[in-house]
């Protein structure tokens, strides 16, 4: 069965909506006629409404402006937080640099240089520093780490960079002292950051004794970590570990101590 649902009935004249359709039109026309025929009455009647509308508009504008300001503030806050994080990072880097430099500068004056490459980036037991002949560095100058600990000797230089051979380099032979009696010994680099030395058994060297090298006075460079002895030999072999880890060097001080080292590695950079 097919039946028509509201066939051809104009919605404007539908029984359920006719009153509202006619009503709203009637209201609009009444208002229009009032304005045309009695404009003073019209404006007297609508002035309070317009004033209320203006007040509401101002309030809503203020309300929306508040959200706009909040968005701008949030954006500004995000920008400032980003800048703050960047500055904090920079501040931390500078603080680290200052602490490293101050630890070096406490010893004496010299040429401050950053370490460009260290083991294992550089050939082992050498470091590359960012100071060369233009900065006053020359071959044979001694390199000091944090706390004024000597770590090596400048072996080759260029205009802007230098390479220092650490005391632990296999070709390095350094005169020094060890023990409470300051027994003289010849320190030989053993590679891999360690050093060896041979002293008389009668020197009574034990594990933990400090090894010194000449500088302004006696400068500690390492500690005895092992004493190898052979009953048939009148001497003992010392295994020495450097005080400063060459892997952690970041800033060094280069200066001429006037000391003569028996040999220093010399190879092109």
Partner 1 sequence: MIRGLLSVFVFFSIIFFPWPFTAVLVLISAFFIPSLSLAAGLFADTLYYTPHADFLPLFTLYGALVTIVVLFVRSRLKTGSMRG
Residue 50 or 63 having the CB closest to partner 1: 50
Among 44, 53, 71, 93, binds partner 1 (CB under 8 A): 53
Residue 10 or 231 having the CB closest to partner 1: 10
Q: Cβ of residue 48: shortest distance to partner 1, in angstroms? A: 11
Please report whether residue 67 would count as binding partner 1 according to CB under 8 A.
no
CB atoms within 10 A of CB 58: 10
Residue 56 or 81 having the CB closest to partner 1: 56
- Find the helix packing angle between 39-105 and 18-37, rounded to 10°: 100
Q: How far apart are the first and last CA of the chain?
A: 102
Helix, strand or coil for residue 107? coil
Please report whether residue 31 would count as binding partner 1 according to CB under 8 A.
yes
Among 38, 44, 56, 80, binds partner 1 (CB under 8 A): 56
Please report whether residue 23 would count as binding partner 1 according to CB under 8 A.
yes
Distances (CA, A) of 17 to 6, 7, 21, 173, 256: 14, 16, 6, 110, 105
Please report whether residue 65 would count as binding partner 1 according to CB under 8 A.
no
Residue bearing tokens 């072996």 = 155
Instruction: Write the DSSP string, 128-175.
Output: EES--GGGT--TT-EEE-GGG-EEEEEEEE-SS-EEEEETTSTT-EEE
**161-190 binders of partner 1 (CB under 8 A):** none
Stretch that binds partner 1, among 18-26, 116-124, 141-149, 224-232 (CB under 8 A): 18-26
Please report whether residue 45 would count as binding partner 1 according to CB under 8 A.
no
Please report whether residue 77 would count as binding partner 1 according to CB under 8 A.
no
Please report whether residue 1 would count as binding partner 1 according to CB under 8 A.
yes
How many residues at the interface with partner 1, by CB under 8 A? 32
Eight-class DSSP state of 263: B
Please report whether residue 41 would count as binding partner 1 according to CB under 8 A.
no
Residue bearing tokens 């080759």 = 156
Residue 7 or 260 having the CB closest to partner 1: 7
Helix H or strand E encompassing 85: helix 39-105
CB atoms within 10 A of CB 32: 11
Among 52, 68, 181, 184, binds partner 1 (CB under 8 A): 52
Token pair for residue 239?
């295994």
Interface residues with partner 1 (CB under 8 A)? 1-12, 17, 20-25, 27-29, 31-32, 35, 46, 49-50, 52-53, 56-57
């Amino acid at each position: 069965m097919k039946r028509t649902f509201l066939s051809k009935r104009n919605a404007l004249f539908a029984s359920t909506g006719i009153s509202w359709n006619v009503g709203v039109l009637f209201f609009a026309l009444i208002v229009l006629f009032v304005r045309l025929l009695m404009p003073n009455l019209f404006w007297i009647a609508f002035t309070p409404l317009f004033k209320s509308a203006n007040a509401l508009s101002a309030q809503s504008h203020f309300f929306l402006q508040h959200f706009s300001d909040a968005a701008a503030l949030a954006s500004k806050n995000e920008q400032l937080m980003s800048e703050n994080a960047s500055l904090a990072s920079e501040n931390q880097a500078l603080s680290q640099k200052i602490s490293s430099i101050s630890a070096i500068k406490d010893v004496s004056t010299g040429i401050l240089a950053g370490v460009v490459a260290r083991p294992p980036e550089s050939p082992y037991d050498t470091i590359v520093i960012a100071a060369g002949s233009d900065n006053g560095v020359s071959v044979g100058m001694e390199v000091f780490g944090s706390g004024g600990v000597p770590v090596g000797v400048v072996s080759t230089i260029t205009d802007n960079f230098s390479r220092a051979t650490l005391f632990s380099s296999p070709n390095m032979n350094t005169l020094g002292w060890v023990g409470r009696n300051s027994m003289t010994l010849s320190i030989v680099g053993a590679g891999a950051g360690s050093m060896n030395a041979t002293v008389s058994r009668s020197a009574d060297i034990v594990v933990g004794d400090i090894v010194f090298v000449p500088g302004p006075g006696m400068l500690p460079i390492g500690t005895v970590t092992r004493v190898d002895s052979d009953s048939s030999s009148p001497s003992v072999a010392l295994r020495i570990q450097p005080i400063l880890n060459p892997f952690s060097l970041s800033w060094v001080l280069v200066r001429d101590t006037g000391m003569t080292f028996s040999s220093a590695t010399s190879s092109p950079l």
